[in-house]
């Protein structure tokens, strides 16, 4: 996918997933490539056993699109585009937070037993990460001058 410049936190939003309910047999939610979400999934990973009080994330991605789902339990995701921050509480398995590229994210307040499932548009590559906040701000400034 071509790099889109100048994404903001307002390009990130909660997507409501389908919830198929069977009487007394529980629920089922579905995510489909390019239908539920505007990208194709190449990778799925999940965070679990995160000790209370720990923080995850603390980085941005240059090109990666992600859908973050609290498959179990709850946690917060704080998004930062360099000028605006938004915090989302994820606590429903039938909701996903779409995070576009160029957004600094921090995950906090994991409940006990929380599972953070991430559906990602690309395979894992360390080159796609921006792990230093000053570098992130420089990246956003270059975005602005190019966009």
Catalytic residues: 59
Work out how close the CB of 63 gets to ligand TYD at its nearest, in angstroms, rounded to a whole number. Answer: 14
Cα radius of gyration (the chain):
16
Work out how close the CB of 61 gets to ligand TYD at its nearest, in angstroms, rounded to a whole number. Answer: 9
Nearer to ligand TYD, 16 or 43 (CB): 43
DSSP 8-state class, residue 28: E
Binding mask 95-124 for ligand TYD (x = CB under 6 A): -----------------------------x
Q: What is the residue-wise DSSP string for 78-92? A: EEE-SS-EEEEEE--
Q: Say whether residue 48 binds ligand TYD (CB under 6 A).
A: no
Q: Say whether residue 62 binds ligand TYD (CB under 6 A).
A: no
Q: Give residue 136's Cα distance to chain centre.
A: 17
Which residue in 13, 29, 57, 72 binds ligand TYD (CB under 6 A)?
Answer: 57
For the chain, how many helices (H) and strands (E)?
A: 1, 12
Residue 140, classed as helix, strand or coil, is helix
Q: Say whether residue 46 binds ligand TYD (CB under 6 A).
A: no
Nearer to ligand TYD, 47 or 98 (CB): 47
List, in order, residues 6 or more apart from 88 with CB less than 8 Å away. Answer: 14, 76, 77, 78, 79, 97
Residues that bind ligand TYD (CB under 6 A): 43, 45, 47, 56-57, 59, 124
């Amino acid at each position: 996918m071509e790099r889109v410049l100048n994404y903001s936190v307002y390009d990130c939003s909660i997507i409501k997933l389908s919830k198929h309910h069977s009487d007394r047999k529980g629920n089922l939610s579905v995510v489909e490539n390019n239908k539920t979400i505007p990208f194709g999934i190449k990778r799925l990973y999940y965070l679990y056993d995160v000790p209370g009080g720990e923080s995850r994330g603390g980085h941005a991605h240059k090109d990666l699109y992600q859908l973050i789902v609290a498959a179990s339990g709850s946690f917060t995701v704080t998004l930062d585009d360099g000028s605006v921050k938004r915090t989302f509480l994820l606590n429903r398995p039938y909701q996903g937070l779409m995070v576009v590229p160029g957004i600094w994210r921090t995950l906090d307040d994991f409940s006990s037993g929380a599972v953070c499932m991430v559906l990602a548009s690309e395979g894992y590559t360390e080159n796609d990460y921006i792990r230093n906040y000053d570098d992130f701000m420089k990246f956003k400034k270059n975005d602005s001058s190019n966009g």
